[in-house]
Amino acid sequence: MKEFWLGKLGWHALPHEWFTILGSISFVMLGLTVIAGLTYTKRWKWLWNEWLTSVDPKRIGIMYFIVGGFMLLRGGLDAIMIWLQQSLSSGASHGYLTAEHFQQVFTAHGNIMVFFVAMGLIFGLINYIVPLQIGARDLASPFMNTLGFWLYVAGVVMVNMFFLFGGEYAATGWLAVAPLSGKAFSPGVGVDYWIWSLQISGVGTTLGAINFIMTILKMRAKGMTLLKMPLFTWGSLCSMIMAVSVFPLLTMTLFLVFFDRYFGTHFFTTDAGGNAMMYTNLIWMWGHPEVYILMLPSFGVFSEIVSTFSRKPIAYYKSNVLAMIGVSSIALLVWLHHFFTMGASAEVNSAFGVATMIIAIPTTVLVFSWIATMYKGRIRFTTPMLWFLGFIAIFALGGISGVLLAIPPVDFQLHNSLFLVAHFHSTVIGGVLFGIFAGLNYWFPKIAGFRLNERIGRYAVWAWIVGFFVAFTPLYILGLMGATRRLDHYDSSKGWQPFYIMALVGGLIIAAGVALQIVQIIASIIQRKRLRDPTGDPWDGRTLEWATASPPPSYNFAVIPEVKTRDAYFEMKHLHAPKHAFEDIHMPKNTASGIYISIFAFLAGFGFVWEINWLAVVSIIGIIVCLIARTFNEDSEYTIPAEVVRKMEKARTDKADTHRKDSRDDEDDMGLIEFAKTVITWALGIALGIVRGKK
Amino acid sequence: MAKHKKIREGRAIWVAFLALIGLGLLVAVLLRGNDVILFNPKGLVATQQRRLMVTSTLIMLGFAVPVLITLYFFAWKFRETNPKATHNPSASRGKLLMLAFWAMPTAIMLILASLMIPATFKLEPQDTIKAEKDLLTIQVVALRWKWLFIYPGQDIATVNYVQIPVDTPVQFQLTADETPMSSFWIPHLGGQLYAMTEHNNRLNLLADTPGDYEGSAAEINGAGFAGMRFTTRVSAQDDFDTWVAKTKQSPAELSTPEYKKLLGPSENHPATFYKDPDPSLYSTILSKYAGSHGGSHDHQTQGAGEH
């Protein structure tokens, strides 16, 4: 009976390692603080109505940033844990983690960073910026978007369940290589958590991608032909098309692994005709494009930034677009380079090696396009531009090591070594994370209405760049010294330890960079009045998102602009556009269906992880019922009357005119010392207030 | 204020430059006395792989370094605070330049591909290496978490230790038994190849300098993965023959029950020596998983068949 109701669940599942207990405690404390804060300020209803059930892509984008940023801290902590273990665990010392736990930590690190940090933040940017850039008021399917977001959140919770609730995480590497991930070699619930966190968030990604393809293709402002689209939108379109092409493959592969583990089928097992090599193929057919799904929007961000801060239109726009399309299509055809060492023939290996090299061509063209844009520009070294300059150095390193790994005979020596690890961190940190940070700095004034602190922002960039090289140069060298990845212990005779320690130091410098980014945001909030941008266009921007207020009203544009050229807004600024009459605006209503479906999806996954069959079945029925109920909801829109729009717009323009001043000068931005002073004074003030209040 | 900014930008370049030199010095100091294995090959294959790696890196650097210098130089030259730089929003629109943008990386990749394709065929690990001496075949079974070596010609077997004569082409036939995919890697001698159940991969190597070189399992395959290492002793032919004769006198015999014991998981397994392994053991292990795809997968004859 107990087995029917609880499956494999029992007291033994609860957290019992010091770090999982610490993790649970800190999460519970954080949760309690948030709950207390919301109750104290009576914000529950506001949170539910204004945010959680919102279908506004801008709000959903911000929620992606918050969850993704939080996961960045979580994944970063894993990174420090990994390096700490490897710095300690040499010779007689075995570090502070067992092999099993160490393997769980790096698996979680990889999954969290790729799925819940990079994917989350990229989706956040796309959500916020793409509709603004194409002059749309909402998305093709606002409901699908909120559903996609909440499925992502369900995945986030699932990946953290092993220490929030209990059990263990997969100890298989981030892609759960078969047959290691089979029941025979990984009998615990770790791989099941892995399957369901990826499965649920992966479905969310597919839905989001379909939605954005439809939005970009069907909802552009009048006159914006495909070849007048801003490059970030182009990058996002390429990325989303790739996501739609490969995420169903991930979904299917995960189902097959699930069947193997749950129903005892033999798709990827060693026995009874299972073929583990097929798993390797399938997972990489998705896994390689996945990296480019993250990279392409980031390329778009850099194109926007280089163009804006060079005060020039992007050079060779068509070439740039072609390069992005090239990257995204060839990226679908290179997956085999992840396992040259599995024993395919020289013919197959060299074919995939050539395909991989071909990707380097459009990527280089993008770099040339940025160089040509800077040529005879007037370059402002704002924080986004500094992120770009850092990206180039790191990404070049990643690109060269990547082409090196595409040469099969060289790959035989470097595969599975720390050289490989250093390579993909160069591309993902340099290419994806730096792109996201650049984008967040660039669009922050649009999102918040005030720009970020430039001075502390610069410190953060430098900490990240220096930290990156201190952390990953030793990994390249360790790879050349024959160090394989994922080692929880090694011989002291090899001379690896100093390099691992150096990497740890680099990791701590990066952590300082992250701390500086947090300080940057807090300092900017403190100084928000001084940094306020009433114009909606703080950088002398070129694309449509700068044409509306900061932050934009829920309907984005009171009058949808008509696009005549590329860099539409830049041209508009120099022409006095005729006044349009305001019209009624139809906007989608908020809905909680996405939340309900995601809760059911989470519960279904949870049921499958612990083999609580009734829960899984009930939850799946719940999902279906919610979906059907949603289709009967025809009252999904509301109207903002033209008169209201006119009033809102008038209030905004009046305000903008009275405040118009150049706030671009960064001499006023507070530095770290002033920040420390402000925070201490503030804390002292509160403390004194409490003391006085008691008297 | 403009002057102030200019100083700051100039300083940043110098700081970055000095930091790079500092990083290089630190690495050089840390490297002192340590073996950078991939640059210190002890075998034919590893030597050729190193050469290919170095050549390709130099070609790419020859292209990338000027590009990077141009990018950073332009960033500096066309800074807003530089009164001498010309500003022209419609600069760089030439068709010819665009052609060059595509042609340059294409040319570099053509050069690299023309190096890569012949090298891939030449260094295909499944092909035997031709040399004066006869081929030595060693059957390797990845077990949890140790490597079993069977010398079919010498009638001996070892665990986590393999000895080979110098200048002799060696073929490691790789498979696995009740173990996830494992990657067999002796970086001093050459690149890795996967050992998988049901499959018979062949890694051909030739050592040219006597010495002890560590081999490892490069792909994660479970809890004992970090300790799945073995010593590769490369010795003169005489020493090898002596060692074989001595191992034949080992008290332990690789019988079926003994193999069953090895099949169970164990970590950091010590080097162990056996006499008289069952001559059909390796083929038994291979055929244990066969049947589903019509026989075992022989990579040499089937080639890429279904990968």
Residue-wise DSSP of A293-305: HHHHHHHHHHHHH
Domain that holds residue A499: 2-261+276-540+550-694
CA-nearest residue to B71 within chain A is A371
Q: Which residue has the higher pLDDT, A566 or A620?
A: A620
DSSP bridge partners of B172: B138, B203
Q: Report, as an integer, the average pLDDT of A19-38.
A: 86
**Among partner residues A103, A315, A491, which is closest to B92 by beta-carbon distance?**
A315
The pLDDT value recorded for residue B46 is: 94
pLDDT digits (tens, 9 = 90+) for B241-299: 999 999 999 898 898 889 999 999 999 999 999 998 988 999 999 988 876 554 444 44
The pLDDT value recorded for residue A657 is: 61
The pLDDT value recorded for residue B6 is: 47
Helix (H) or strand (E) holding A639: strand A637-640
Question: Chain A residues with CB inside 8 Å of B217's CB?
Answer: 484
**Among partner residues A281, A361, A381, which is closest to B106 by beta-carbon distance?**
A361
pLDDT at A632 over 90: no
Map residue B207 onto helix, strand or coil.
strand
String of DSSP letters for A399-445 = HHHHHHHTSHHHHHHHTTBHHHHHHHHIIIIIIIIHHHHHHHHHHHH
DSSP bridge partners of B175: B141
CA end-to-end span of chain B: 64
Please answer yes or no on whether B178 and A389 come within 8 Å at the CB atom: no
Banded pLDDT at B92 (limits 50, 70, 90): low
pLDDT digits (tens, 9 = 90+) for A645-679: 888 887 777 766 655 455 455 667 888 888 888 88
Please answer yes or no on whether A379 and B106 come within 8 Å at the CB atom: no
The percent of residues above 90 in pLDDT, for chain B, comes to 65
Tokens of A337: 């380079």
- The CATH number linked to A71 is 1.20.210.10
pLDDT at A11 over 80: no
The pLDDT value recorded for residue A291 is: 92
pLDDT at A314 over 80: yes
**Taking the domains of chain B in order of start, what are their residue ranges?**
2-83+95-122, 136-290
Please answer yes or no on whether B23 and A469 come within 8 Å at the CB atom: yes
pLDDT digits (tens, 9 = 90+) for B36-85: 899 999 999 999 999 999 999 999 999 999 999 999 999 988 988 888 88
The pLDDT value recorded for residue A21 is: 82
Q: Report, as an integer, the average pLDDT of B213-239.
A: 93
Q: Report, as an integer, the average pLDDT of A623-649.
A: 86
Mean pLDDT for chain B? 87
**Among partner residues A312, A341, A369, which is closest to B194 by beta-carbon distance?**
A341
The pLDDT value recorded for residue B17 is: 81
pLDDT at A297 over 80: yes
Banded pLDDT at B34 (limits 50, 70, 90): confident
Question: Chain A residues with CB inside 8 Å of B188's CB?
Answer: 482
The pLDDT value recorded for residue A694 is: 59
DSSP bridge partners of A232: none
pLDDT digits (tens, 9 = 90+) for A156-181: 999 998 888 878 898 999 999 989 99
Residues 6+ apart with CB under 8 A from A472: A422, A425, A426, A503, A506
Phi, psi of B103 (to 5 degrees): -70, -40
Residue A259 to residue A257: CA distance in whole angstroms: 5
The pLDDT value recorded for residue B142 is: 95
Question: Chain B residues with CB inside 8 Å of A92's CB?
Answer: none
The pLDDT value recorded for residue A667 is: 66
Q: Which of residues 123-182 of B touch A (CB under 8 A)?
A: 123-126, 178, 180-181
Banded pLDDT at A253 (limits 50, 70, 90): very high
How far from chain centre, in Å, is Cα B284?
29
| Least confident window among A69-78, A113-122, A265-274, B201-210 | A265-274
The pLDDT value recorded for residue B8 is: 57
Query: What total number of domains does chain A contain?
Result: 1
- A529 touching chain B per CB within 8 A: no
Map residue A343 onto helix, strand or coil.
coil
pLDDT at B31 over 90: no
Banded pLDDT at A334 (limits 50, 70, 90): very high
Banded pLDDT at A60 (limits 50, 70, 90): very high
* A545 lies in some domain: no
- A291 touching chain B per CB within 8 A: no
CATH code for the structural domain at B136-290? 2.60.40.420
- B58 touching chain A per CB within 8 A: no
Instruction: Indicate the residue type of B262.
Output: L
The pLDDT value recorded for residue A114 is: 94
* A270 lies in some domain: no
Q: Report, as an integer, the average pLDDT of A199-210.
A: 95
Q: Report, as an integer, the average pLDDT of A60-84.
A: 94
Please answer yes or no on whether B87 and A311 come within 8 Å at the CB atom: yes
Taking CA atoms, B2 is separated from B9, B80, B163, in Å, by 11, 10, 70
Q: Which residue has the higher pLDDT, B17 or A468?
A: A468
How does DSSP classify residue B272?
E
- A509 touching chain B per CB within 8 A: no
Asked if A378 contacts A421 with a C-beta cutoff of 8 angstroms, the reply is: no
- B92 touching chain A per CB within 8 A: yes
pLDDT at A128 over 80: yes
Strand locations in A488-583 (E): none
pTM of the model: 0.92
The pLDDT value recorded for residue B304 is: 39
DSSP bridge partners of A586: A639
Q: Report, as an integer, the average pLDDT of B146-173.
A: 95
Q: Which residue has the higher pLDDT, B146 or A576?
A: B146
The pLDDT value recorded for residue A464 is: 95
pLDDT at A579 over 70: no
**Among partner residues A370, A371, A409, which is closest to B119 by beta-carbon distance?**
A409
* A600 lies in some domain: yes
* A269 lies in some domain: no
The pLDDT value recorded for residue B3 is: 42
Instruction: Indicate the residue type of A676.
Output: A
The pLDDT value recorded for residue B297 is: 47
The pLDDT value recorded for residue B1 is: 37
Q: Report, as an integer, the average pLDDT of B173-194.
A: 94
Please answer yes or no on whether A179 and B79 come within 8 Å at the CB atom: no
CA-nearest residue to B108 within chain A is A361
Q: How many CB atoms lie within 10 A of CB A356?
A: 26
The pLDDT value recorded for residue A268 is: 92
Residues 6+ apart with CB under 8 A from A399: A360, A363, A364, A427, B64
Residue B193 to residue B138: CA distance in whole angstroms: 14
Closest CA to A639 of A589, A597, A585, A561: A585
Please answer yes or no on whether A376 and B105 come within 8 Å at the CB atom: no
pLDDT at A417 over 70: yes
Q: Report, as an integer, the average pLDDT of B212-222.
A: 92
Please answer yes or no on whether A270 and B199 come within 8 Å at the CB atom: no
* A679 lies in some domain: yes
CA distance A80 to chain B (A): 20
Mean pLDDT for chain A? 90
